[in-house]
Amino acid sequence: MNETTFHWLMPLGVKNDFVFNPSARDFMVEEIPLYEASGEGEHLMLQVRKKGLSTFELLDLLSSRLGIPKRQIGYAGLKDKHALTTQYLTLPAAYETELRTWEHPQVKILDLQRHGNKLKIGHLKGNRFRLRFKKVLGVQKEKIDRVLEWIEAYGMPNYFGLQRFGITGENWKQGRALVRGELRMRDRKMREFLIGSWQSRLFNDWLSRRVALSRLLEEFEEKEVERIEGLPVDTLNGAQKQPHFFKILRGEVMMHYPYGRIFTAEDQIAEAEKFAARDRAPTGLLPGRKVRRADGAARILEEPFDDPKIPEQGSRRYAWIFPDGIATRYVQEKAHYELSFTLPKGSYATVLVAMLKGTFV
């Protein structure tokens, strides 16, 4: 794979040429909280709507306005700058009076209530998205409809979106250089962020490899795919007859869906059937310390995308997700296609768009 571009493979061979320019008018995101505000406590939970600002820029605004360190502001997830987004924050309750009167042209506080604890990353259920595509004519609409039908039936790969890799798409290179000792950085938060980008790159490369194998298994027998891909004999044994597009391998690390414990698959066929029923899903490796690696055949495909030198905590990430609540509206006279759906936390709407287009752009 070319180091300066991203060619991660999609499950379908569809290519589509509609227009999607992320903006506050055409891209809306609403965070779904993990729990409601308690109504009492030493913190304030704010529901905030913003446009033209990243979450970090919003934190800078609040920090400057209130004269407090950013570390005192809690948030559950990062929201896109190029969208109209609604998310939840927590701040010390001592600033309630000032926050109730604070105004900013790009920010509106929709709700403010007392709460017992500070929000932390991951304290959300997921996100609701509303998108508008333009210049969607007859054949483009038919292609979008067809891919969405497939997604409703099978779900989609849980790639990290391109925004995970920075404006130039090369944050991961700095992360790799840090891991290899070729770069030094004193800022711990930035160091962790850049190494996280390298972990994300390895995950995406692994996932693309697994999607490629699943596509090949639609056309060729297991033994043929093993020969084509230079895999050991029986690596793909038991994969082809599985009901889902994405094939479960022996030794796969699974996780109950949409959340739950991680475990290693012991019965490949039974796990494949439960995956097709959306009871659980396979996971991919974010390399690092103290993380479960796959076994057997699944490890053969995972190992080339592992980096044992990464000093940060590793984890597992769903390789596959199932969007909920997909709804569409086509405005023929404007050639606009409106789409709404819900994704679990940590998943990217831009990946669903990439699947509709057939490529990352």
- Do residues 31 and 55 make contact, with C-beta atoms less than 8 angstroms apart? no
Type and span of the H or E element at 28: strand 27-33
Q: How far is CA 294 from CA 220, 222, 258, in A?
A: 25, 20, 20
State how far the Cα of 265 lies from the Cα of 275, in Å rounded to an integer: 11
184: which 2 tokens?
């030094």
Q: How many residues does the chain have?
A: 361
123: which 2 tokens?
């304290």
- In this structure, the number of other CB atoms found within 10 A of the CB of residue 15 comes to 10
- Do residues 46 and 280 make contact, with C-beta atoms less than 8 angstroms apart? no
263-287 burial, b at 16+ Cβ within 10 Å, e below that, comes to: ebbeebeebbebbbeeebbbbbbbb
State how far the Cα of 172 lies from the Cα of 178, in Å rounded to an integer: 10
State how far the Cα of 31 lies from the Cα of 339, in Å rounded to an integer: 17
Catalytic residue among 26, 80, 306, 307: 80
Q: Which residue type sits at 123?
A: H
- Do residues 289 and 263 make contact, with C-beta atoms less than 8 angstroms apart? no
Active site residue 279: no
**CA 31 to chain CA mean position, Å:** 14
The phi-psi region of residue 39 (left if phi > 0; otherwise alpha if psi is between -120 and 50; otherwise beta) is left
Going by the DSSP 8-state scheme, the letter that residue 161 receives in this structure is P
- Do residues 258 and 228 make contact, with C-beta atoms less than 8 angstroms apart? no
Task: Report the catalytic residues.
Answer: 80
